[in-house]
Every structure is written in structure tokens, then in C-alpha cells.
Copies of this chain bind each other. A is one copy, B any other.
Amino acid sequence: DTSAKVIDGKLVSKQIKDEVAEEVARMKEAIGIVPGLAVILVGSRKDSQTYVRSKKKACEAVGIKSYEANLPEDSTEEDVLKHISAFNNDPSVHGILVQLPLPRHMNEETILNAVSIERDVDGFHPLNIGRLAMQGRYPLFVPCTPKGCMELLHRYGVEIKGKRAVVIGRSNIVGMPAALLLQKANATVSIVHSQTKNPEEITRQADIVISAVGVANLVRGSWIKPGAVVIDVGINPVDDPESPRGYRLVGDVCYEEACEVASAVTPVPGGVGPMTIAMLLSNTLESAKRIHNFK
């Protein structure tokens, strides 16, 4: 029987956005401050423009003010740093994010490190990651996509403490921080990556699987322990002549097979995807509250 519960990221993200909107209104009412998010986009990649546009729309929908800096592809690193510095010093800006990827001629590390840690709503600063890794330390911001994965687990009542968890993928923006979060929540975590020899066998031991690889249908039903909870971060285009665009998006997990084995699964689209933006809004609100000491 195909009995897995569908973890509805669209629904949960809507709940979170409603909660953020309420808090934004309460804050404005109480102290007259409106949270602000600044997005820096360099170049004119179509996908990046789409992301930036949807972040802007999401801000508007909850009452967060959005600021944008669009720089041409051939800007210098210095141009970008100047804009970051201006946003760092702008009291109406509480979150700053640099849309990745940057043009090749720029050093991503230099640029990301320039974002003041108090406004690093993406949570990518190494100081944040270090605090995430350490016992007894807490980051100012948790990276949005892994935070969204955890939020889905929490809101669906999935117990984490003492459970076996496998994270497939170890990127700085998804896999690695996801593993650190699961471990902070007292799961026993294993990290599978491209050099792992027997990913199927290891993954099959997990009560909780988070996959963030970028390979369509990598995780088959046979990889999943019966009853496991599966969070699929992957967003992968596959050819589909029946779709108007000629392709459709799928996750890393073979969804139909997972539904027959797992107890709960996130679909793609409609699972983790919408959570990422919801968490960005939530991080921006959190930042404004912290900066203005508003509880």
C-alpha cells in the first residue's frame, strides 16, 4: 500500500508566513520598526532573477520591506563590497543576502564574509557554522534550507533525539548544516557523499533521511528503511515531453517508491522548496527583533 504521509511544505510554509506577518505587524504597531531585507544580485542569470523576484514578493506579502541592489555581471568585487557595506550600515536593513552563484571573477568567500554577522540571515558565515557545530554554542542564524527541513520534522511531530539520521550530501548550504542540526537535536548522524562506498546500505539504517544531492531518483525505495521519514531537498529537472516547458522538476528521491516504504515523505515540488523562503522571512524578522531588542 502507498501509505506514506505527505509532508506538505506548501501548507507549513503558509502557516509560517502567516505567523511572520502577524509578528511583523505587532512589531510595527509596538515600536514602529519594519524589518528590512536587502538582496544583492550580480549579473543577469535568469534563475537567479527568478529567485530574487520571489524573495521580494514573499517579503511584500508579510510586510517585510525589501531592498535590492542589481549590479552588472562585469562589476568588480569592490563594487559588491561597497554595496554590502552600505547595507551593513543602513539601520532599516536587518538582513542581507547575496544571491549565489556570483560571477566567476569574484571570490565568494571574501564577499560572503563581508556581510555583518548580525545581518547574515543566510547563516553562511563560518562563525555561524562554527557555533552550529559546537556544543553549548548557538548561531545567530541557521541556514534557511536546513532550518526548513528541521521545521518540517518538528511540525509533523517527528522525534529526532536518539534516532538514526542519514544526510546525503554535505554542501555548505544544505547537507553539512542539516547534519549539524540533526546532531544538535541528539540524532545519531551519518553523512553520505560522493565518496561513500555503500550509500544504499547506510541510508537503509536511518529513521530520518535528508537528501540534498542534485541527482534525480538517486534514492530508491530499496534505500529506505520501512517507516522512515524522508526529506527530499533535491530539485532536479528531468525531460518531460508532456510538460509545456519540456521538463519537470523532481527530487533526489524516487517519490512513488518512497511512498510505499516510508512513513512520511516530502514531495518535490511542494516540500522543502517553499520552506526555504519562509525561513528567510523568519530569520529576517528574528534579526530585526534582536537588533531592536523586541520580544
Contact B192 A191, beta carbon cutoff 8 Å: no
* A54 within 8 A of partner (CB): no
* A259 within 8 A of partner (CB): no
Complex Cα gap A193–B185 (Å): 12
Selected contact of A195 from candidates B130, B132, B162, B196, CB within 8 Å: B162
Q: Which residue, A125, A134, A202, has most C-beta atoms of chain B within 10 A?
A: A134
Complex Cα gap A189–B196 (Å): 9
* A133 within 8 A of partner (CB): yes
Complex Cα gap A135–B171 (Å): 7
* A72 within 8 A of partner (CB): no
Q: Which residues of chain B have C-beta atoms less than 8 A from A202's C-beta?
A: 164, 188
Q: Which residues of chain B have C-beta atoms less than 8 A from A172's C-beta?
A: 134-137
**Smallest distance from the beta carbon of A13 to chain B beta carbons, Å?**
27
| Binary flags per residue of A131-171, CB closer than 8 Å to B gives 1, else 0 | 11111110000000000000000000000011010000011
**Smallest distance from the beta carbon of A203 to chain B beta carbons, Å?**
11
Q: Which residues of chain B have C-beta atoms less than 8 A from A127's C-beta?
A: 126-127, 130
The chain A residues found within 8 Å of chain B, CB to CB, are: 109, 125-137, 161-162, 164, 170-172, 176, 180, 183, 186, 188-193, 195-197, 202
